[in-house]
Amino acid sequence: MELVSVLKQLSNEENSTLYVSILVIIVTIFLFLNFTRKKNNNLPPCPPKLPFIGNLHQLGTLPHRSFHELSKKHGPLMLLELGQVPTLVVSSADVAREIIKNHDVVFSDRPQTTAANIFTYGCKDVAFTQYGEEWRQKKKICVLELLSIKRVRSFGSVREQEVVELVGGIRESCVRNKGSCVNLSELLISTSNNIVSRCILGQKYNTPKDCNDKNFGELGRKLMRQFSSFSVKDFFPSFGWIDSVRGLISEMNATSIAFDSFLEDVIEEHIMRRRNKEKKKGDDHFEKKDFVDILLELQENNMLEFADSQDNFKAILVDMFVGGSDTTSTTLEWTFAELLKNPKAMKKAQEEVRRIVGRKSKVEENDVNQMNYLNCVIKETLRLHPPLPVLGPRQTTSSVKVQNFNIPPKTRVFINAWAIQRDPKLWEEAEEFIPERFENNQVDIKGLDFQLIPFGVGRRGCPGISFGLVSTGYVLANLLYWFDWKLHGEDEGDIDMDEMCGLTVSKKVSLHLQPIPYSLSS
């Protein structure tokens, strides 16, 4: 019996050894094949990943910072696997330049996300339409008809009226509650959204909706919040049903239906007004058009040559609203935060504004065009705090070679503008707020110089640059002219600069500041 027991034990030990040996061989073969595949494919470096989720666990609440940390270890061109989606991350100006200069067409598609599909009528807008002739026509309409320099100037009265209301509200607060603070962040959001909404729809962002007692302001905020919601389908296409189970799709659909109803009413109101009003011609009429008027005129003249033109019409309006709402207020908020942290820059900017405006009763947009240092302040803010730190995602249409690496087709692409614009190889004291760096530096902010790309680059760059910059400069000049600003109960160096990621990356903590009215007689 003892002999039989010993033989069984030896047999079990031999089996265990055999099983372990087979397992080691299998793992070795798998690793070898995987290494050989990567070597043969010559893919960009990839950080270690987990089964199924890939590198998704390394994507924190602030993706631009997570990507930047990974790029320090794995280089300026990385191929991550975010769930089931191969994702290329670009973190250097040289790589971005090579992509745009040599392969921009290959990189000009957009991944059609869950939110974009729902809110832009199946991606019929400009931002998410696939690259091709239809996209070119839509972008041409936006650039020439909606966002041209002439058109942007025509909205000067809208900007002036909204800024007058903003300044008047702050003055009233100063009189009513002397020495108290205002939530400047909220005021900037409200003013920026009012400007955008009036230019697009012809009415204010916070105007209550008469029909069905809907409030467009709340509806717009809900749409923008859901636009940046995490969707399982965007990272795990085969598990998209989870979004339906957890209620995300039904919430987005409800918001989309309500927003669509609102747009239909606005369009109908514009049509009725056009029918009841004698058509006027010339530059005077040009100045009074909002985006809905312009698109209706193009539609009447058969210049919207798209299938389902009404959906395309509304998708473009959604695009303009989403693209213009948060970006301006976010930039203004970060500008004030940086100026408060750097009182010398604040003083220099205010002195320039007050010197150029003089004792006039209002700041004019022509005055802002002469404010060189103010322009440097805005540039430096956009360098340190681009509203979209990781530019809008692209997608490759075919295989392509970049930096001698092979990039597969259908690869999602992120260009980390935040990392590029803080690269110490490109910028001295890259983490510091130094507007003076632009006084004798002709680096262009419109995507021609790859070290400064807050509005994107190439074919997919933002067409609303002029609209955003004019609004930002005019609001900022007025607030610096009419008020001095102080932090309440804390030193300038203690201002909270933490970020919060949403549709844009804004300040986590709102700016509560004490405004001190400026006297023209001082």
pLDDT of 249 over the 70 cut:
yes
Q: Is 360 helix (H, G, I), strand (E, B) or coil?
A: coil
What is the structure's pLDDT at 19? 46
CB 90 within 8 A of CB 79: no
Q: How far is CA 93 from CA 383, 405, 451, in A?
A: 13, 17, 5
CB 451 within 8 A of CB 426: yes
Task: Tell me the pLDDT tens digit for each residue of 427-470.
Answer: 999 999 999 999 988 888 888 899 999 999 999 999 999 999 99
CATH of domain 45-517: 1.10.630.10
- How many Cα atoms within 13 Å fall on the side-chain side of residue 182? 25
CA distance 291 to 202: 8
What is the structure's pLDDT at 116? 95
What is the structure's pLDDT at 494? 77
What is the structure's pLDDT at 12? 53
What is the structure's pLDDT at 8? 45
Task: Tell me the pLDDT tens digit for each residue of 52-102.
Answer: 999 999 999 999 999 999 999 999 999 999 999 999 999 999 999 999 999
What is the structure's pLDDT at 267? 93
DSSP-assigned beta bridge partners for residue 487: 513
Residue type, 519: S
Q: How far is CA 155 from CA 96, 148, 196, 469, 520, in A?
A: 34, 11, 10, 13, 28
CA distance 211 to 3: 93
What is the structure's pLDDT at 309? 81
- Percentages helix, strand, coil for the chain (3-state, rounded to 5) are 60, 10, 35
What's the whole-number mean pLDDT along residues 218-245?
Answer: 91
Q: How many residues does the chain have?
A: 522
Q: What distance, in Å, lies between the first and last C-alpha atoms of the chain?
A: 110
pLDDT of 4 over the 50 cut:
no
CA distance 15 to 34: 28
Beta strands in 299-423 (DSSP E): 394-395, 400-402, 405-407, 412-415
Residue 467 host element (H or E): helix 465-482
Q: What is the pTM of this model?
A: 0.88
**Neighbour count for residue 47 (Cβ, 10 Å):** 16
pLDDT level of residue 225 (50, 70, 90 thresholds): confident
Task: Tell me the pLDDT tens digit for each residue of 473-483.
Answer: 999 999 999 99
DSSP-assigned beta bridge partners for residue 82: 54, 85
pLDDT of 300 over the 90 cut:
no
- How many Cα atoms within 13 Å fall on the side-chain side of residue 314? 21
- Token digits of residue 378: 């805005």
- Token digits of residue 343: 């009182």
- Token digits of residue 219: 């509806």
pLDDT of 280 over the 70 cut:
no
Q: What percent of the chain has pLDDT over 90?
A: 69
Report the greatest alpha carbon distance in the chain: 113
CA distance 46 to 48: 6
pLDDT level of residue 291 (50, 70, 90 thresholds): very high
Residue type, 166: L
What's the whole-number mean pLDDT along residues 103-129?
Answer: 95
What's the whole-number mean pLDDT along residues 277-298?
Answer: 70
Is 462 annotated as belonging to a binding site? Answer: yes
What is the structure's pLDDT at 370? 96
Q: Where are the domains of the chain?
A: 45-517
pLDDT of 297 over the 60 cut:
yes
